[in-house]
Amino acid sequence: MKKNEKMKSSTTKSSLLKVATTAGVFMLLLLFSTSLSAQETTMEKIQKDAPSNWGKWGSEDKIGALNYLDNAQTLRGIKEVKTGKRFTLQLPMTHGIGPVFPGRLPVEHFMSQDESTFASGKKDPLAGGMKYSDDVVYMYLQGTSHVDALGHAWYGNQIYGGKSANNTVDGHSFVGVGELAKKGITGRGILLDVGVALGDAKGRLAPNTCITLDDLKAVAKKQGVTIEKRDILVIRTGSMGRFYDEDDKENWDALTEPGLCYSKELVQWIYDMEIPVIASDNLAIEKSVQEIDGETAVIPLHGALIRDLGVVLTEIYWLEDLSEDCKKDKKYTFFFTAAPLKMEKGSGSPVNPIVIK
């Protein structure tokens, strides 16, 4: 079998595996969520009288709370640069390895051309003797560190801005991730190292830990830093450190990761503080399955923040190196920049954010 045929065969098998895995994992998520409570709540009930940014920047606004990150906010972020130290926050994109939300699979990477292509005589070098490689990646756009589109999550039949959810059919025709990519993300970032402040000896929160608004404020106070309006919040739970730690990985589970938990007070605070972006080192920013007033809700903050406020969520970050440096120099603010790919109509995009201190 030729190399390309092998790759196609492998891809076909992989696609079948994806279908089976997706169905199985979503059933697991459903069973897990319904086992927590006899009753499910609704987003309409949760979000009754909650704040909304629909129409704030006009009826055709496509970037939501990124509107807060104007030129002045870029300059405010640049003022945080004191040493020039840089930290990249993306996880490695390794074939078949990586934490992903239930229903997705890690990146698959195949070489379509390499030295073996030339050594076998399947292809001749270019005139002058040059050779080159080519490769292919199959992946969920949210199968690594990524940015969510504003159309990525919704409830009822409306997405961000009050537009019909039909705008998601066959690709996001209104608020795909390409709209965020045109703007880019730049501003003052602040690390809220909840794992170090409230976690174990390795700076990791226990599974199923709910992070509250009071926790965020307490962590900021402990770090000696003030959360300011329009800050980009970077929340560390220690979850990715656990995933890649062979001695602790057995305690990692996609369905029990620690994360933010919904409250009306938290949503109101994010609205009042004009928070444009929230990043974290877990799969979903929030705890995936939550109980609100005794009733079950799955990823409710995605509805409250993405759909209703247009806040950009960006997930699965590597924050271990940044955390260590912040502990050493006691500086938890920095210039944050991230550029999602210009993936037209996409639900999300891989991203490699860069922090400069």
pLDDT tens-place string over residues 104-144: 999 999 999 999 999 999 999 999 999 999 999 999 999 99
**pLDDT value, residue 39:** 77
What six digits make up the tokens of 319? 């924050």
CA distance 138 to 92: 15
> Distance between CA atoms of 310 and 302, rounded to whole angstroms?
10
Q: If you write DSSP's letter for every residue of 270-283 in order, what string do you get?
A: HHHTT--EEEESSS
Q: Which two tokens stand for residue 207?
A: 């599974």
Place of tokens 């919704």: 154
Q: What pLDDT score was predicted for residue 29?
A: 53
Residue 41 pLDDT = 84
What are the DSSP calls for 287-310, one per residue? Answer: -SEEEETTEEEESHHIIIIIIHH-
348-350 vs 146-148, strand pairing mode: antiparallel
Q: CA 44 to CA 50: how far, in whole Å?
A: 10
- Tell me the whole-structure pTM to 2 decimals: 0.90
Q: What is the mean pLDDT of each run of 10 residues along the chain (357 residues)?
A: 44 44 47 54 93 97 98 99 98 94 94 97 97 97 97 97 97 97 98 98 97 99 98 99 95 96 98 99 97 94 98 99 98 98 97 99
The pLDDT, as a whole number, for residue 6 is 44
Mean confidence (pLDDT) of the chain: 92
Instruction: Please report the pLDDT score of residue 10 as a whole number.
Output: 46
The dihedral built from the CA positions of residue 242, 243, 246 and 251, taken in this order, carries a sign that is positive
- The residues, ordered by sequence, that sit 6+ positions from 175 with a Cβ below 8 Å of its Cβ are 62, 64, 149, 150, 151, 159, 160, 161, 163, 167
Q: What domains sit in the chain, N to C, each tagged with a CATH number? A: 1-36+106-139 (no CATH), 41-92+144-356 (3.50.30)
